[in-house]
């Protein structure tokens, strides 16, 4: 792939990232205005580097071409939305799915169905429309939505996994999963307290 092609490709994803930032800002802002609720603690976004894209394609053992990038790398544009409570996560999922400017490509509920490591989050792969060169070009992005507790676990788990060899000892896997269960219990307890507080506010 020529350098110019890389530049054009990454520029397209940068445009998509900018558009998604604006779309999320608008739909979340509208929701907060209508409900006087503030479900989002913070939101982060990133654009995968050229080096990271190549590394991912090599890991998948596919040729490095624009076609394969689009086919095999689904998180070049990545967003993470961190919410206060479990109910906020699902509210955010519904808000995003209701957007007329975004198309849902795939969704995975790793909260109801956690990964084997105990990782929990709600993933949405979406298509963002770009109006370039008198045509519509859809660019994929991944949005991860999770609670503060899930984000805490995911961040530490990632650091631990990064330092460990590929074949993690069984007892370490068990310990990690045990920690994820504690995080899940914390989320459940905080949601219960939040539901009680809401009853007082609504009354």
Write down the catalytic residue from 21, 51, 107, 142.
142
Distance (Å, whole) CA 27 – CA 57: 34
**Pairwise CA distance, residues 24 & 12, whole Å:** 18
In the numeric block, which tokens belong to residue 79? 């967003």
- Tell me whether residue 142 is one of the annotated catalytic residues: yes
- Within 10 Å of residue 99's Cβ, how many Cβ atoms? 15
- Write down how long the chain is: 203
Burial 162-186 (b: 16+ CB within 10 A, else e): eeeeeeeeeeeeeebeebbeebbeb
Q: Which residues are catalytic?
A: 142
């Amino acid at each position: 792939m020529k350098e110019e092609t890389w530049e054009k490709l990454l520029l397209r994803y940068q445009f998509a990232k900018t558009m998604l930032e604006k779309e999320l800002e608008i739909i979340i802002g509208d929701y907060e205005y209508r409900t006087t609720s503030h479900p989002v603690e913070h939101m982060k976004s990133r654009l995968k580097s050229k080096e990271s894209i190549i590394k991912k394609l090599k890991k998948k053992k596919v040729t490095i071409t624009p076609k394969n990038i689009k086919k095999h790398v689904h998180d070049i544009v990545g967003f993470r939305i961190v919410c206060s409570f479990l109910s906020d996560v699902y509210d955010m999922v519904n808000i995003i799915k209701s957007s007329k400017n975004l198309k849902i490509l795939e969704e995975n509920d790793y909260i109801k169905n956690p990964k084997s490591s105990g990782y929990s989050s709600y993933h949405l792969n979406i298509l963002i429309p770009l109006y370039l060169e008198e045509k519509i070009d859809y660019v994929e992005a991944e949005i991860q939505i999770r609670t503060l507790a899930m984000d805490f676990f995911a961040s530490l788990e990632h650091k631990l996994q990064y330092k460990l060899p590929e074949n993690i000892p069984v007892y370490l896997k068990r310990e990690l999963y045990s920690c994820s269960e504690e995080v899940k219990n914390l989320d459940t307890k905080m949601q219960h307290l939040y539901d009680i507080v809401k009853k007082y506010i609504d009354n």
